[in-house]
A and B are shown apart, each in its own frame.
Chain A
Amino acid sequence: MRRATRTEARCRRAAAGFLLPFLALFLLCFLAPIGYAVYQSLLKPKRSGPLGLGGTTHEVWAGLGNYTHALGDPRFLEGFGRVLLFGAVQIPVMIVLAAGLALLLDAASARWVGFFRTAFFLPYGVPGVIASILWGFLYVPGLSPLVEVAHSAGWQVDFLARDTVLWSIANIVTWQFTGYNMLVLIAQLKAVPGELYEAARIDGAHAGQIAWHIKLPLIRPALVLATVFSIIGTLQLFAEPMVLRPLAATIDSGYTPNLHAYNEAFTSNNQHVAAAEAVLLALVACVLSFGFLRLVGRGRDGK
């Protein structure tokens, strides 16, 4: 009895020792900023003095004023609508593409697989900013070889027009992350025992049936994981519109909620409203991610 307690205590001490360094930084870099943002979002500045400038400034309680301000800003809300639309289209397209490529690679003959896999995965190594600068050159009319080629084929395209620019951004994101998601799926496929396929093949199933009925259900957990990360990534959308903005007159300062919060904080110097927007953004991300997990969780239970 006494021995067991001592071991237990030793265990707790050791566990605490291993956990503490991480938890300390986690507290500093995750929990504290959230708390701080919530606090800042409840204040607002008040000034008086000559010219109304440079006089006395102090912060006063604003209640939920910053939240109503943010939610009353049509540009902020439009930004939310835009990333939701973006996610509803781009995420399924990317996941389907990634799954398709993973299944094709899994079924293809061995010789070229290594090359293709590397080629598809390569863009993941190109940071979002660089990818946006790069695609920017490929989008700008008059400069883009893609537009040039399309024109000579008699096809008028404008990647940066009002109706197309969101999908041009979607293309950048898809280009970057399809390969990564594909690799996640391939990894899961490799974990499937080969005998399963053999059995199915002997039963007379062809490649398409095996892919649809056996492989797809097996990579379901990986698909869920990839989707959740994509949802989070979509809400974070920032670098791409920010880099493309000077090139495309159709991207405004609140094109995505994240860009809006950034401009509130740094261009307009309204850190309190920006904090409220950051809190709202985090809330939506949590709701959507957990919502999606529950949705697929229920689907699985139902079967």
Chain B
Amino acid sequence: MSPYGVGRRAVLGSAAGTAAALALGGCGSGSGSGEEGSARPPDRKKGERITLTFWSWVPGIDGPVDLWNRTHPEVRVDVEKVSAVGGAQYAKMHAAIKAGNPPDLGQIEYATVPSFLLDNGLLDLAAYGARRHKEKFVGWEWAQSVFGESVYAIPQDSGPMGLFLRHDLLDKWGIEPPATWDAYEEAAKAVRKRGAYLETFSATNGNRFAGLAWQAGARWFRVDGERWTIDIDDDATRRVADFWGGLVARKLIRTIPDRQNAWYKDIQTGQLVSWLGASWGDVLLAGNAPKTAGKWRVAPMPQWRKGDAAYANWGGSTTAVFAATRHPKDALDFAVWLNSDPASIKLLIKGGYGFPSAKRGYSTADLEARRDFFGGQHYTDVFQRAAKGVDTSWQWGPATDTLYQRLGDAFTEALADGGSFRSVLKKVRDQTVGDLRDKGLKAEAG
């Protein structure tokens, strides 16, 4: 039985006693939302006009949605841009689920999908025939939102990681793009001698740190039956923590937060000459450092062993349908169209999103609208190679936002006290086990 089978009504009923029943009464008056288990909302009548609300924060999402609205007059989609500062978009979605008035669709990153299953927030799309769309999408990205037999979201894009470099400066200083992490360390030293910095270790960027651990072969979350195993303090992650802790301790890199006011200034002035980013970072650099156009290049992520081809993913998101929607079928149709229709993908790319999750419907040249900024380099090739080398067995846990926050707090403390990065891992692992248990889950340290 799927987790959203008959049990669902009972779940909601007992969740918060009579008070919750009040809330359900308030929002469910239309057509039985909250009753997917026992009575599916009726399909839309032919010719009936409906409106779906879609929460997203991706700047370029309006383009494809406008196209959809022009070509699908019966199903209008309203985009509402929610604030994405510090994970506020998810806070809002969780809040809206509790408040009983979530939108029909939401943009949710892979890492955050499981946390929405905890409050029964997402609709199992398998019940509406989602599985037959599986072949349209890259396997591991599709698998990120599949739990058991259930499909909880349609993948939109991924963020294969790469190394953005100030080619002009490194060239002038005679520094090669580092192929290994050893070479990366040497490059950091060389750049430091020129008065600039190679990179910053952003304590609050748990996302990127996870990507680095992912590349090194870590697997932070595993689930076996009902039991979650948290393995943040493993050898692979320790290697990553030791490496960056060493760079910080020797003051070879900065420790300011990335993608913030000071960082924008530094990448524009050449104080920072590289950034370990992801494919979607091309727009970010081009938009925020317009004065450095033509000077950047993209190189593959450095490797732990020379000649390896291990890569990682940073970010990427899905289009999910919330459980309370009154139009599940139309919402699913839109989600699939948005992420696999060639015309939509073209517009998404134009709006500057990540690497398409769809297997077909675009060419890599489409993804290179910013080639001028990168001196004419076919930089998408780098990301495409990375996308193929991502370890696809990685799985996210049900409290990723809390985990990022824990990592951020612990790294912040370590930077302030001069504590070791390795001690951060054990601490965060223990906290995460506690967090999952606090949520009523069974969890243990790996």
Direct contact of A and B (CB under 8 A): yes
A residues near B (Cβ < 8 Å) are: 44-59, 69, 75, 136-137, 140-143, 162, 245-254, 263, 266-271, 273
B189 interface contact, C-beta 8 A:
no
B134 interface contact, C-beta 8 A:
no
- Can you add 4 more A-B contacts, CB < 8 Å, to A51-B226, A248-B257, A266-B91? A56-B14, A267-B91, A267-B402, A270-B439
Q: Which of A254, A269, A270 has the most CB of B within 10 A?
A: A269
Is A143 touching B115 in the complex (CB atoms < 8 A)?
no
The residue on B at minimum CB distance from A69 is B438
Kindly state the interface size class of chain B when it binds its partner: 35 or more
B78 interface contact, C-beta 8 A:
no
Knowing A58-B15, A247-B260, A252-B408, say if A52 contacts B7 (CB, 8 Å).
Answer: no
Instruction: Please give the distance in Å from B297's CB to the nearest CB on chain A.
Output: 24
Is A249 touching B257 in the complex (CB atoms < 8 A)?
yes
Binary CB contact string for chain B from 106 to 138 against chain A (1 if under 8 A, 0 otherwise): 000000001101111000000000000000000
The residue on A at minimum CB distance from B264 is A143
Is A252 touching B413 in the complex (CB atoms < 8 A)?
yes
Is B256 touching A249 in the complex (CB atoms < 8 A)?
yes
Is B412 touching A52 in the complex (CB atoms < 8 A)?
no
Is A247 touching B412 in the complex (CB atoms < 8 A)?
no
B377 interface contact, C-beta 8 A:
no
By a CB distance below 8 angstroms, the chain B residues around A46 are 440
C-alpha gap A137/B255 in the complex (Å): 18
B68 interface contact, C-beta 8 A:
no
The residue on A at minimum CB distance from B12 is A57
Is A75 touching B402 in the complex (CB atoms < 8 A)?
no
Instruction: Please give the distance in Å from A301's CB to the nearest CB on chain B.
Output: 46
Is B438 touching A246 in the complex (CB atoms < 8 A)?
no
Is B416 touching A250 in the complex (CB atoms < 8 A)?
yes
The residue on B at minimum CB distance from A243 is B85
By a CB distance below 8 angstroms, the chain A residues around B435 are 268
One of A50, A57, A250, A273 near B440 (C-beta < 8 A): A57
Chain B, 369-420, CB within 8 A of any chain A CB: 398-399, 401-402, 405, 408-409, 412-413, 415-416
Is B227 touching A52 in the complex (CB atoms < 8 A)?
yes
Is A142 touching B265 in the complex (CB atoms < 8 A)?
yes
Is A249 touching B440 in the complex (CB atoms < 8 A)?
no
C-alpha gap A69/B441 in the complex (Å): 17
The residue on B at minimum CB distance from A43 is B16
Is B226 touching A48 in the complex (CB atoms < 8 A)?
yes
Is A269 touching B265 in the complex (CB atoms < 8 A)?
no
